[in-house]
Amino acid sequence: MSVAQCSWSDVADGWDRWRDAIEEGDVGLTEAMLVEAGELSGHQVLELAAGTGELAVRVAGAVGADGRVTASDEADGMVKLLTARLADLPNVHVAHIDACAIPDPGATYDVVLCRMGLMLVPDPATAAREMHRVLRPGGRLVAAVWADPAANPWLASVGMAAMMQGLAAGGPPTGPGGPFSLADPETLRGLVVDAGFDDVRVEPVAGVRHYDSTEQHVDMGTSLAPPLHAALAGATPEQRAALLETVRQLTSAYVADGGGLDLPTKAWVVTAVA
């Protein structure tokens, strides 16, 4: 179930439709990354895999009129979302950037941010070296990746159900480019150290994503993840119903007191100094 089977541009509309729910679910992670980024006033900041642009908006306010944010993504569809959302912010520049081939000269930025993008890069070692290259001496890297599937049933349960119902092939997406490819904190730490960074720290950030129903959970999950979006495209009504019931069973332990689902999330935030 490789991300390469489907383009992120194919799910850009889904990310736009579920933007508020995504940002609400990631609020703790966003706050943790901003704390680790430190004082940003007047700084030059690069955000890779900027997604819906919510973090870029926050950072734009933090850098102020004397700073500048480059909010980027590799997928054309996501760049369009960023452009629409950030158009009115004079200190934000939107760019199409491949994290493995950042076009800027060395020592351009004070801070590089990457929220849930590094693990999706087919060659994260090259991406980490590129992040190091474009940072000024003493500049900070703050990146976040998902921890293991068992700690993230909000995502793993839908993917597992799709495999159980024959809609997706292969095992959990732990290989290169998969959402759980950097789930091991020591692997993540080693990747950043090998890229040349100092003072590398990896810390957990736990959270909860609330869904009003299993239907909403499945709709959101299959709207945001390219492999799941592709898997559901040709599904019959019977297969969709079976998928829904399987997810319901897999998440039965997380039914909220007031109804709906409260599904745990766990991420690793890695910080380092160039």
Q: Kindly list the domain boundaries of the chain, sorted by start residue.
A: 3-148+172-210+264-273
The half-sphere exposure of 177 on its side-chain side, counting CA atoms within 13 A, is 14
Mean pLDDT of the chain: 95
According to the model, what pLDDT value does residue 174 have? Answer: 87
- Of 10, 102, 123, whose CA–CA distance to 47 is shortest? 102
CA 262 to chain centroid: 20
Is the pLDDT score of 4 beyond 50? no
- Integer Cα distance of 45 and 196 in angstroms: 19
SS (H, E, C) 37-78: HCCCCCCEEEEECCCCCHHHHHHHHHHCCCCEEEEEECCHHH
Q: How far is CA 67 from the centre of its chain?
A: 24
Displacement of CA 118 from its chain's centroid (Å): 8
CATH superfamily of 3-148+172-210+264-273: Vaccinia Virus protein VP39 (3.40.50.150)
Percent of the chain with pLDDT over 90: 92
Q: What is the pTM of this model?
A: 0.95
> Is the pLDDT at 115 greater than 70, yes or no?
yes
Is the confidence at residue 3, as pLDDT, over 50? no
CB neighbours of 20 closer than 8 A, spacing ≥ 6? none
Q: What is the mean pLDDT of residues 66-73?
A: 98
Positive or negative, the Cα torsion across 51, 143, 151, 169?
A: positive
Average pLDDT over residues 57-77: 97
Residue 263 CA to residue 242 CA, distance in Å, equals 20
Of 19, 41, 132, whose CA–CA distance to 91 is shortest?
41
Does 68 score more than 60 pLDDT? yes
